[in-house]
């Protein structure tokens, strides 16, 4: 017990203080200790989620139901409800409010316990899950689990986001292929969340820029399959500085947000907005990853190419030429590409003459599958065009065109400026 006015010994590191909150308030003013308590242990805070499954393309996914093995069932009923205890052979992180389902209970008088539940509590060792069934009175401390299925239902309410720093609760091994090598993620390494959809799936990387994805695509399994992914939720000074107090739009200052609507209609509107956002998010172009699409892209307006790093200064850089002069295959410079040609990096003409210029039988040919022509002028250098086979406006044309496959409307203008529409008959050969 500290004696009044005895002072402090340097080697005891302030152990003489019997009430730290009182000492802080005396030193820094009343209420200081309470304020500091809000950030107490803020560097040790974590958020955890149990492993659900891993997809073939390397995502830690939570979009599918997870069936979990159980080792026992217990029921204790009374006049109002039945408390059900679900025992697990291995710990699994269930949380309050998780949605679960029991099915396959066949004992006499207990079939009513089949159904879906919300988790009400979990034991500290994570091996017992507690739920309750109202309106059913059934007691059996050791129910049969033969044929019983215990399922964790999907709820798209949580996912880590890009840039989050996470660890695994233990070392986990994944199978790269059947009969092939294995890949192990270790618990004492920091991993970074990448390619998160913010809802139910994400990938991990050993680097913040996401260049090293682990595990890679094509893996399966996960041993053990009950590990946890833990996010470090430390709050630093910068997070406190960046905090923006939410603005309450209601005139009464309450968070009701119903605006005269019913609760059900508000839920329906919110759900509709969420689903629309999820759909259009998949249609948007992202700046943090490559986007490949086979859909037609229509651009209304100008396309601007920026080169802030001045990479495309020379032709060699544009086509990614090696220092020895050889071209790097399949490694074009960044930019907008039309077909296989980088936009504005070359002056390509899709039309070519099949014969020498000026020949009477000269033809224009192109390999393009779709061609559009604005105004096509036929000139011989004297601003004139000779059409043979027509003697006058009332004469008939000798011969019949029967080998054409396409036609293009053209306007013929005489010396007085009068125009008449005719058709060019074209063939593919």
CA 49, CA 117: separation in Å to the nearest integer?
A: 19
- 389/335: higher pLDDT: 335
Concatenating the DSSP letter of every residue in 61-86 gives: E-SS-EE---SEEEEEE-SSEEEEEE
126 burial type by CB count under 10 A (0-12 exposed, 13-18 middle, 19+ buried)? middle
- 307/266: higher pLDDT: 266
- Residue-range domain boundaries for the chain: 1-38, 66-152, 298-348, 349-429
Q: Indicate the pLDDT class of residue 356, thresholds 50, 70 and 90.
A: low
Average of pLDDT values for 220-232? 89
Using DSSP, state whether 151 is helix, strand or coil. strand
For 27, phi and psi rounded to 5 degrees?
-80, -40
Q: Which pLDDT belongs to residue 383?
A: 58
Regarding beta strands 99-103 and 81-87, do their DSSP bridges make them parallel or antiparallel, or are they unpaired? unpaired
What is each CA distance from 70 to 6, 269, 319, in whole angstroms?
60, 39, 61
| 150-183 tens-digit pLDDT | 999 987 666 788 889 999 999 998 887 666 678 8
Residue pair 120/132 in contact (Cβ under 8 Å)? The answer is yes
For 77, phi and psi rounded to 5 degrees?
-105, 160
Q: Indicate the pLDDT class of residue 395, thresholds 50, 70 and 90.
A: low
Domain 66-152 has CATH 3.30.70: no
Residue 394 has pLDDT above 60, yes or no: no
Q: Which pLDDT belongs to residue 418?
A: 80
Q: How many CB atoms lie within 10 A of CB 242?
A: 8
CA 184, CA 15: separation in Å to the nearest integer?
A: 45
Residue 372 has pLDDT above 90, yes or no: no
- 345/353: higher pLDDT: 353
The closest alpha carbon to 333, from 325, 347, 345, 324, belongs to 345
CA 421, CA 334: separation in Å to the nearest integer?
A: 46
Concatenating the DSSP letter of every residue in 5-34 gives: T----GGGTTTT-S-HHHHHHHHH-TTHHH
| 14-55 tens-digit pLDDT | 777 778 888 888 888 888 888 888 778 888 888 898 999 888
Concatenating the DSSP letter of every residue in 270-320 gives: HHHHHHHHHHHHHHS--SSS-----S-----S------TT---SSHHHHTT
Average of pLDDT values for 222-248? 84
CA 429, CA 423: separation in Å to the nearest integer?
A: 18
**Lowest mean pLDDT segment, chosen from 129-133, 195-199, 366-370:** 366-370
Which long-range contacts link 288-294 to residues 24+ away (Cβ below 8 Å)?
Answer: 288/162, 289/195
- 205/280: higher pLDDT: 205
Q: Which pLDDT belongs to residue 87?
A: 96
């Amino acid at each position: 017990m500290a004696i009044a006015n005895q002072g402090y010994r340097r080697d005891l590191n302030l152990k003489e203080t019997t009430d730290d909150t009182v000492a802080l308030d005396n030193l820094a003013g009343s209420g200081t200790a309470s304020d500091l308590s809000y950030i107490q242990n803020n560097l040790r805070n974590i958020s955890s989620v149990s492993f659900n499954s891993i997809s073939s393309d390397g995502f830690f996914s939570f979009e599918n139901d997870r069936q979990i093995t159980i080792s026992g069932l217990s029921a204790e009923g009374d006049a109002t409800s039945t408390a059900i205890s679900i025992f697990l052979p291995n710990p699994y992180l269930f949380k309050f409010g998780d949605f679960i389902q029991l099915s396959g209970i066949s004992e006499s008088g207990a079939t009513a316990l089949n159904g879906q539940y919300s988790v009400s509590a979990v034991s500290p060792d994570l091996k017992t899950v507690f739920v309750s069934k109202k309106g059913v009175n059934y007691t059996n401390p050791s129910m049969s689990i033969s044929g019983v299925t215990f399922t964790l239902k999907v709820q798209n309410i949580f996912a880590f986001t890009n840039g989050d720093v996470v660890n695994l609760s233990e070392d986990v091994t994944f199978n790269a292929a059947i009969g092939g090598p294995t890949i192990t993620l270790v618990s004492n390494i920091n991993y970074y969340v990448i390619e998160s959809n913010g809802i139910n799936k994400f990938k991990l990387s050993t680097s913040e820029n996401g260049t090293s994805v682990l595990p890679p695509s094509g893996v399966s399994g996960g041993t053990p399959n009950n590990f946890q992914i833990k996010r470090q939720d430390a709050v630093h000074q910068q997070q406190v500085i960046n905090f923006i107090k939410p603005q309450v739009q209601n005139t009464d200052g309450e968070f009701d947000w119903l605006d005269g609507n019913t609760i059900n209609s508000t839920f329906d509107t919110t759900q509709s907005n969420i689903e629309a956002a999820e759909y259009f998010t998949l249609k948007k172009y992202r700046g943090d990853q490559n986007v490949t699409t086979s859909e037609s892209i229509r651009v209304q307006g100008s396309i601007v190419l920026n080169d802030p790093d001045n990479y495309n200064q020379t032709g060699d850089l544009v086509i990614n030429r090696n220092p020895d002069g050889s071209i790097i295959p399949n490694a074009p410079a960044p930019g907008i590409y039309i077909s296989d040609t980088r936009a504005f990096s070359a002056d390509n003409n899709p039309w070519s003459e099949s014969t020498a210029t000026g020949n009477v039988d000269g033809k224009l040919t192109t390999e393009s599958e779709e061609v559009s022509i604005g105004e096509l002028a036929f000139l011989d250098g004297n601003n004139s065009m000779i059409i043979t086979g027509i003697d006058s406006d009332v004469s008939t044309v000798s011969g019949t065109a029967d080998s054409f496959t396409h036609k293009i409307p053209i306007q013929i203008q005489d010396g007085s400026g009068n125009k008449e529409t005719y058709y060019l008959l074209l063939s593919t050969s």
